[in-house]
Amino acid sequence: MNYVFGRAQRQLTRSSLGWRAPTACRFQTPNAPPPLGRVLLLKLVLPLPLVVEKDRDNNSKHDYGRSISPNDTIQPLALLIHPQQPLSYVERLIQAEIPPVVEDGKEKVPSVYFRAEDSDHGDNKPTTRAEARRKDEKGDSANKHPSHVASYSGLGHEGPEREGSDKNWVRWSNSTEMGDFIRDAARGREFAVEIEGYHVEMRVTVPSFNDRTYYMRAQLRKMSYQIDELARIKRECDLIAHRGANLLAKGGFALLTGWWGAVYYVSFHTEFGWDLVEPITYLVGLTTIMGGYLWFLYISKDLSYKAAMNITVSRRQNALYEARGFDSQKWEQLVQEANALRREIKVIAVEYDVDWDEAKEVGDEVKEVLNEERSKAGHKARSSEKEKDEAFTEQERKKKKKDESEEGGKSIS
């Protein structure tokens, strides 16, 4: 699962240790925005405003961890994370990069807290008595928006911005998986990472559905162009092959009709009569049955119109594909990868409760082709499983008969 997160903002407050928020950074104009952190794919980048000097003996100060001064630049901290790793893993990574805090004369490893916006409140919460009275009269709060139900907007940092007083923060347990935390935080615009003892709070904007699926949708669009081009060639070849098979079937019917007319004419309108025609028709009919039986043994499949059409069409298709430069292996690979991307995007859309317009990304024709190929692949997989089951059953039956014959021979002896 790939996460593409948004920007991260940081908010610093003055603590008892004298840490202070940097007012400017090197090579930064006074009006420039503060440094921003980002989370790209599985890399979390935090603008940690603390510098840790590990060599305590070479420092004159006892507090060998210090804050960023106005003349220093903030070097963002990059952390590689996985959606299934708990928040405690991220906490330990952050703790390894910050100095301990002094509490009651003892050094202590600072705790790291992860908080997300509570979407159950905020914009729906009345701020005045008059507003609460109006909501009670309308009944919106009780009926349409239950307090125990929260919906995913899928907007993330693209959602409407709310004032700080309208936000309700919820601290999450550090045993929560990172993927679950991010997915729930997507209901709001951002989540916060707070470091105990330093009064440091870093705001990280939450990825939206468009952010998380940006590269997947771009790759799917790129594949759709290739699939569209190959589908056009394949459609033309299939049309020609089916047209040739239909002409062959019509030619067979015309041949049978001509044979019927010849037998009728010779039997009733010539001097040879039925005495000559009867053995000829018998031999021709028997020869046709023998030829069909041999053909059945050759194809080793059911003797049916569908099997005959498939053989004739497939041969013609392969010849046309080779002549037109159509690569069947490349086609199957593209279709499989495109369907896999569609499946991943749909899973993310379900997580965000978003209606993804697939036709807008790939087009109606490509969507129809992918659905058709997916159904064909499922049918082939079921047929293959059925053939394997039948072969296994036949093998077990032969093995059982062999064992029974061996037991019978031993009993006779």
- CA pair distance 359, 221, nearest whole angstrom: 11
- What is the predicted pLDDT for the residue at 88? 92
The sign of the torsion formed by the CA atoms of 318, 324, 327, 332 equals: negative
- 52-55 own/partner pairs: CB under 8 Å, 24+ apart: 52/97, 52/98, 52/99
Count CB atoms within 10 A of the CB of residue 105. Answer: 5
Tokens of 272: 């040879």
CB burial readout 301-317, b (16+ within 10 A) else e: eeeeeeebeeebbeebb
Task: Identify the top-confidence range among 303-307, 333-337, 356-360.
Answer: 333-337
Q: How far apart are CA 320 and CA 301, in angstroms?
A: 24
Among 44-53, 144-153, 190-199, 242-251, where is mean pLDDT lowest? 144-153
Element (H, E) at 171: strand 169-172
d(Cα 248, Cα 59) in Å, to the nearest integer?
93
Residue 18 to residue 198: CA distance in whole angstroms? 9
Over residues 146-174, mean pLDDT: 59
Mean pLDDT for the stretch of residues 107-112: 87
For 42-46, 70-74, 122-126, 368-372, which range has the lowest pLDDT when averaged over its residues?
122-126
* Number of neighbouring beta carbons within 10 Å of residue 203: 17
Q: Which two tokens stand for residue 281?
A: 């028709």
Query: What does DSSP assign to residue 346?
Result: H
Give 89's pLDDT tier (boundaries 50, 70, 90). Answer: very high
The tokens of 79 are what?
């952390």
> How many residues appear in the chain?
413
Tell me which residue of 155, 187, 151, 154 sits closest to 172, measured CA to CA. Answer: 187
**DSSP code, position 153:** -
Please report the pLDDT score of residue 66 as a whole number: 52
Pairing assessment for the beta strands 37-40 and 43-46 based on DSSP bridges: antiparallel
Residue 122 has pLDDT above 60, yes or no: no
Average pLDDT over residues 113-119: 81
Q: Please give the pLDDT value at position 326.
A: 86
**CA pair distance 251, 66, nearest whole angstrom:** 91
Site of tokens 């100060």: 61
Question: Residue 80: how many CB atoms within 10 A of its CB?
Answer: 10
Residue 287 has what pLDDT? Answer: 92
Residues 6 or more apart in contact with residue 227 via CB below 8 angstroms: 331, 334, 335, 338, 362, 366, 369, 370
Helix (H) or strand (E) holding 248: helix 214-269
Query: Which two tokens mark 405?
Result: 């014959």
Task: Give dist(CA 315, CA 304) in Å, integer.
Answer: 17
pLDDT at 23 over 70: no
CA distance linking residue 17 with residue 102, whole number of Å: 9
| Lowest-confidence pick of 253-267, 299-313, 330-344, 380-394 | 380-394
CA torsion sign for 253, 255, 260, 265 is positive
Inter-axis angle of helices 364-412 and 214-269, nearest 10: 70
What is the band of 126 on the pLDDT scale with cuts at 50, 70, 90? very low
Average pLDDT estimate for 311-335:
86
- Cα separation, 413 vs 401, whole angstroms: 19
Average pLDDT over residues 38-46: 62
Quick one: pLDDT at residue 387?
A: 63
Span 62-83, average pLDDT: 64
Q: pTM (2 decimals)?
A: 0.53
Helical (H) or strand (E) element with 116: strand 112-117
Helix (H) or strand (E) holding 313: helix 305-324
Query: For residue 228, is pLDDT > 60?
Result: yes
**What are the extents of the domains in the chain?**
4-212, 215-384
DSSP 278-306: HHHHHHHHHHHHHHHHHHHHHHTS--SHH
